[in-house]
A and B are shown apart, each in its own frame.
Chain A
Amino acid sequence: MAGDAQTNDEPEESASSPVYELKEVAVDLTGVLGTRRILSDISLTVHQREIVGIVGRSGTGKTTLMRALGGLTAPAAGELLLNGEPISGTPEGVVTIFQDYGNALLPWRTVAKNVALPLEGRMRRSEIRERVDRAIDSVQLRGRENDYLNSLSGGMQQRVQIARALAVNPAVLLMDEPFGALDALTKASLQDVLLDLHSHNDATIIFITHDLDEAIYLSDRTFVISGDVSAGDPGHLSLELDVELPRPRHQVRTRESPDYLFLRHTLGDAIDLARG
């Protein structure tokens, strides 16, 4: 599959090789109020195939961290390595799923054509069709392929964005509050879709959420990000939590286990502390 670098079918590396290494990363953003430090002293390592959750209150810099990881915003200080190399520009094989799906999708294209966007011109039509079909199946949008976005609910539109990311078979999936707009049932089923997909491939997943249960249910590790940017306290990681719950996880049973409840308690406390 030469020339198709957005896939993760390179020879398998050892399961613990670091994908991301962040050392004391800081990020500044310039707005109408001038340049402000949004994130400071972010150090973390993410390994291949890991699922890492990031939780925090709104305005603590979660989206900003995601943009730095995706190469959309350059760090102001520190070291941000992807596969051992400093990130410059948006790296191949890393796909960001944006929080504002409404701006990130193409209203003039049908569902199927939206999903096909990143594949066009890169492979044969038959292969594009196959991948698009598979991606649409996996987010349970079969039957809506030929609909335009304005006839879809917000949740369905977000699923289109997820399908578009899955279609390129990314090595790293960065998801900014991917299920925030979904109702509880759809959310649960998409969480399981994501875990099921992940059990069949080598993708590394980093996701943001403000749902503590979602963070624990999905992740191998969860970070809490706290701070108050407007009060001059840039976002920083205040807790790292190993989530050693057995996989495959189960929407009901996993959430009933004592270990889960303990993690949920710890995380809840951390977020409360973060409130200051």
Chain B
Amino acid sequence: MRNLNLLGTAVIGLVIGLWEVAARWGPLADLDALPSPGEIVAAFGELLSDGSLIPAVVHTLWIALLAAVVAISAGTVLGLLLGASSAFRLVTQSSFDVLRTIPAVSIMPVLLLLLGPEPRTEIIAGSIAATWPMLVNAADGVRSVHPRLAEVGQVFGFSRTRVAVRLTLPAVVPNLLVGARLAVVTALLATLLAEMIIVPTGLGWALISAQNAIQMAQMWVVVVVCGWIGWLLSIALTQIARNLQPGGAR
């Protein structure tokens, strides 16, 4: 682990301190949308003890991870095919290019009507959004593998399969890891969005209902929790990527 950045941490502490002071006695005192850090901590305690926060976190995380798994699998397979097979590229590239321009949010209402307000609807919405970054990175990865690598395989009499498995695929791993990281982040975003607009559950809905109830402190609790989840995911993914990439990134 890297050393904690002391100065950076001190700055954050200072900002929170100033915020607390400003919200209690200063210019922010009349601004209801921005409660003080103390009020937010109190609301955090309430949400924990009334048992609504943890299930929402578990729900959102679980759905986002499932969506990410689906997206990473589908995106890897399609992307590798797209990168490796010019025939497959010829047939499908245009369709993918058209589909990719449709924002995932815009098909959420359609999915709701088709599938109802179920968890599977969330998963599908999340995985559709997250497949694209995975697919694009996998395809680019295959196409950017230096032709020399396959020639090395040829020199040593490798079959095409052996070239693919021993040389091309490992060479694409760094791109796959970049795609997977983006897919996880995108899946989380799309899941939160789906919870806000089509399937009222999880953290996304917690955010909306706190807003509707004008519970500003509670709303901020959810915002902070979403931030933590993003931060933890990014640390975990960086660590996983490091372990799957012997020899370091190229």
Residues of A near any B CB (own CB < 8 A): 6, 70-72, 89-90, 92, 94-96, 98, 100, 103-104, 106-110, 117-118, 120, 148-150, 168
Contacts and interface: CB of A to CB of B under 8 A. Distances in A.
Question: Which 4 interchain pairs have the tightest Cβ spacing?
Answer: A148-B247, A103-B148, A118-B156, A103-B146
A100 B148 contact: yes
A6 B157 CA distance: 9
Nearest to A67: B151
B166 to A, nearest CB: 7
Contacts of B149: 103-104, 106
A150 B249 CA distance: 9
A95 B90 CA distance: 35
Contacts of A70: 155
Given A98-B148, A100-B148, A107 B154 contact: no
B250 to A, nearest CB: 5
Contacts of A103: 146, 148-149
Contacts of B239: none
Contact of A108 (B151, B152, B156, B246): B246
A148 B149 CA distance: 17
B21 interface: no
Given A96-B155, A100-B148, 20 more contacts: A6-B156, A71-B154, A72-B155, A95-B156, A98-B151, A103-B148, A103-B149, A104-B151, A104-B152, A106-B170, A107-B247, A108-B170, A108-B245, A108-B246, A109-B246, A110-B247, A117-B152, A117-B166, A148-B246, A148-B247
A120 B151 CA distance: 17
B160 to A, nearest CB: 12
Nearest to A94: B155
Interface string B174-189: 0000000000000000
A89 B155 CA distance: 9
B248 interface: yes
Contacts of B167: 106
B247 A90 contact: no
Contacts of B245: 108
Contacts of B173: 108
Contact of B156 (A71, A110, A168): A168
A73 to B, nearest CB: 10
Contacts of A94: 155
A207 B245 CA distance: 35
Nearest to B166: A117
B74 to A, nearest CB: 25
Summarize A's interface: helix, strand, loop or mixed: loop
Interface of B: 146, 148-149, 151-152, 154-157, 166-167, 170-171, 173, 245-248, 250
Contacts of A95: 155-156
A109 B247 contact: yes
8 contacts: A6-B157, A94-B155, A96-B155, A98-B151, A103-B148, A106-B171, A108-B246, A117-B156
A89 B160 CA distance: 13
B18 to A, nearest CB: 45
Nearest to B174: A108
B247 A72 contact: no
B157 A90 contact: yes
A89 B159 CA distance: 12
Contacts of B156: 6, 95, 117-118, 168
A120 to B, nearest CB: 8
A207 B54 CA distance: 68
Given A103-B148, A106-B170, A150 B248 contact: yes
Nearest to B167: A106
A110 B148 CA distance: 19
A6 B156 CA distance: 8
A168 B248 CA distance: 28
A70 B155 CA distance: 8
Contacts of A150: 247-248, 250
A6 B158 CA distance: 12
Contacts of A117: 152, 156, 166
Contact of B154 (A90, A108, A110, A149): A90
B145 to A, nearest CB: 10
A92 B245 CA distance: 32
A107 B152 CA distance: 14
A109 B166 CA distance: 11
